[in-house]
């Protein structure tokens, strides 16, 4: 039976999330027919995920009534028929509210269907000599087979109306023995891996993702970013996203020979390793950047401003950003003046105020604070909303202020006199001290992140809440901080 010729290419959503049925144009005459079974540009334009197929499989079935499935594999599949016809049945076997959802359709050479990882696939041939083809985005292996999820073809809950009754169909003994739906263990989603989990941002991400089994956290002891062997110990196929919240952030120490080497090792070489992994395994890489990639001469820094770093730390962050930008699926989240659970400027000011110290604080560096709970929320928003990949500035909102302004605000909020804080220039503050150059203006434009649906909280409001929650006094940080 010949397929219908000259149908336009079209996509049809189905009741199973992510499963899409396609009409394929088939061109034929007295000699037979021809079709573009897979054309990446056209399929992407229709909304098909760029799922990166690496292997093409063909199942040849000699007799009508041959029935195979229901198998959910740990990869995505683009399925079509080369010759003949099939009755296809798909059951959602993933964790989540659509578990058990069923979709059926008849496929001939003029139709194709995209099946995401974890959705069970089955078919029954309606003609002799039918060839069923799979384009998949991972290589088959014995290890991968151990991650399959199966459902019995005769499951009463799915209640698939097979055109040829199963008792008259050709089935394998393995397929006859698969479990009913109530005994199926749903396929878990791929995980998000958070690196730098013990830093300020890592702790905020832990709090934001508390109770979420699909997020995994790794501190320095769990994964040493500077050790190539650390990367070999993980099955990267099990991850959908990596959030790189790890960094060498000791700005002044980075100017020393040892600090320079450490900064490049963590901020560049390790980032290059993560970028290779992300590109190879189609993982979304989220990388946290810094205002230090700019020289601070602009009044406001948009995402597309060219890099102009002043010191070693900024140079390493700019190099890391350039590397991450080559990953097909990436978010570079650029932030500044980070405040969270750990050593930071606000806690230092709280400590000084509590001890009656009247500090001199720089008053010619201008920017906005970035509280880690908001950075974490913004990152999770980008991942969950499917925002366009690219660079996003992410700080708190409100009127920019100097470090001295913020110090006075801390003193006032903790019941001390603002007059205790004296403003000094950057040049005067660092006179005769070994210090890295700093951008004088760190204000990052927030239009893009707001357009993506995330509105950062006001920095003053966050500061008041942070201090009201009892920010612990802490001494001025002296050791290199290896995480945001």
Contact assessment for residue 77 and residue 115, using Cβ atoms and an 8 Å cutoff = yes
State the 10-residue block means of pLDDT for the chain, 484 residues long.
78 96 87 85 91 91 94 94 96 96 96 96 96 90 74 96 96 94 94 95 95 93 90 89 96 95 96 96 96 96 97 97 97 96 93 95 96 97 96 97 96 95 94 91 97 96 86 40 44
Contact assessment for residue 77 and residue 50, using Cβ atoms and an 8 Å cutoff = no
Q: Which residue shows structure tokens 């570079």?
A: 332
The residues pairing with 35 across neighbouring beta strands, listed in sequence order, are: 26
Structure tokens, 381: 């928003």
Q: What sign results for the dihedral spanned by CA atoms 105, 106, 110, 112?
A: positive
| Active site residue ranges | 71, 134
pLDDT at position 476: 40
* Distance separating alpha carbons of residues 172 and 152, to the nearest angstrom: 12
pLDDT at position 478: 36
pLDDT at position 342: 87
Q: Nearest CA to 314 among 269, 387, 251?
A: 251
Element (H or E) spanning 243, and its range?
strand 239-244
Q: What structural domains and CATH numbers belong to the chain?
A: 10-183 (2.60.120.10), 191-468 (3.40.50.720)
> Between helices 403-413 and 459-468, what is the axis angle to 10°?
40
pTM score: 0.87
* Distance separating alpha carbons of residues 45 and 118, to the nearest angstrom: 24
How many CB atoms within 10 Å of residue 428? 12
* Distance separating alpha carbons of residues 249 and 256, to the nearest angstrom: 13
């Amino acid at each position: 039976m010949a397929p219908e010729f000259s149908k336009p290419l079209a996509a049809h959503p189905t009741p199973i999330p992510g499963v899409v049925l396609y009409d394929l144009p088939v061109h034929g005459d007295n000699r037979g027919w021809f079709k573009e079974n897979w054309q990446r540009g056209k399929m992407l334009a229709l909304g098909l995920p760029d799922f990166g197929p690496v292997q093409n499989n063909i199942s040849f079935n000699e007799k009508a009534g041959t029935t195979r499935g229901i198998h959910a594999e740990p990869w995505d599949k683009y399925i079509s028929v080369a010759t003949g016809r099939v009755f296809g049945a798909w059951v959602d076997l993933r964790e989540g509210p659509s578990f058990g959802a069923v979709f059926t359709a008849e496929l001939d050479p003029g139709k194709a269907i995209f099946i995401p990882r974890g959705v069970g696939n089955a078919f029954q041939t309606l003609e002799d000599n039918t060839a069923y083809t799979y384009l998949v985005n991972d290589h088959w292996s014995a290890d991968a087979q151990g991650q399959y999820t199966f459902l019995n073809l005769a499951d009463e809950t799915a209640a698939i109306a097979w055109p040829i009754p199963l008792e008259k169909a050709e089935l394998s003994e393995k397929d006859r023995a698969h479990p009913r739906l109530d005994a199926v263990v749903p396929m878990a989603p791929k995980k998000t891996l958070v690196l730098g989990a013990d830093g300020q941002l890592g702790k905020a991400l832990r709090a934001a993702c508390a109770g979420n089994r699909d997020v995994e956290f790794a501190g320095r002891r769990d994964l040493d970013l500077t050790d190539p062997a650390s990367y070999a110990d993980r099955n990267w196929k099990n991850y959908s996203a990596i959030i790189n919240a790890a960094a060498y952030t000791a700005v002044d120490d980075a100017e020393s020979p040892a600090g320079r080497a450490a900064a490049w090792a963590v901020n560049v070489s390790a980032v290059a390793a993560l970028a290779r992994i992300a590109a190879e395994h189609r993982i979304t890489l989220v990388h946290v950047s810094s205002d230090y990639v700019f020289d601070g001469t602009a009044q406001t820094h948009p995402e597309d401003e060219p890099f102009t770093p002043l010191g070693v730390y900024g140079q390493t962050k700019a190099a890391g950003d350039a590397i991450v930008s080559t990953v097909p699926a990436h978010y570079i989240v650029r932030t500044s003046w980070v405040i969270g659970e750990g050593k930071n400027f606000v806690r230092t000011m709280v400590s000084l105020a509590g001890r009656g110290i009247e500090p001199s604080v720089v008053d010619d560096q201008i920017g906005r604070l970035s509280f880690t709970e908001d950075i974490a929320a913004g990152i999770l928003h980008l991942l969950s909303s499917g925002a366009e990949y690219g660079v996003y500035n992410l700080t708190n909102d409100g009127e920019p202020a100097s470090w001295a302004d913020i110090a006075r605000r801390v003193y006032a909020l903790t019941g001390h006199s603002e007059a205790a804080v004296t403003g000094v220039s950057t040049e005067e503050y660092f006179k005769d001290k070994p210090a890295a150059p700093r951008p004088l203006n760190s204000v990052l434009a927030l239009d893009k992140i707001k357009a993506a649906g995330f509105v950062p909280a006001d920095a003053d409001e966050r500061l008041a809440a942070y201090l009201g929650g009892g920010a612990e006094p802490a001494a001025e940080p002296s050791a290199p901080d290896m995480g945001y």
